[in-house]
Amino acid sequence: MTAGVVYTETVVWSAPAHLAAEAPYQIAIISLDSGGRVTGRIQGDRVHIGDRVEFVDSRGQVPFFRKQA
């Protein structure tokens, strides 16, 4: 998992109890350059459909991506 394009996105305002302190946060479905799609969290600047993103790291089996410069 290295990079891809935002297929769809949303901002979570009302998070489950264990993530409430992190709200609001953005999640997105990423169409990976290597094929397939994955759901992950967005770190940093907000992304929009069609934006290029890159993989940052994985925390608790959740992939984190950020907008490519």
Q: For 31-64, what is each residue's pLDDT tens digit? A: 999 999 999 999 999 999 999 999 999 999 999 9
What pLDDT sits at residue 1?
A: 67
Alpha carbons 53 and 57: distance in angstroms, whole number = 12
Distance, CA of 10 to chain centre = 9
> Residue 57: what pLDDT?
95
Mean pLDDT of 9-34: 96
- Per-residue pLDDT band for 69 (boundaries 50, 70, 90) equals confident
Measured CA distances, 68 to 6, 22, 35, 44, 49 (Å): 11, 22, 18, 10, 13
**pLDDT for the residue 25:** 97
Stretch 15-21: mean pLDDT = 94
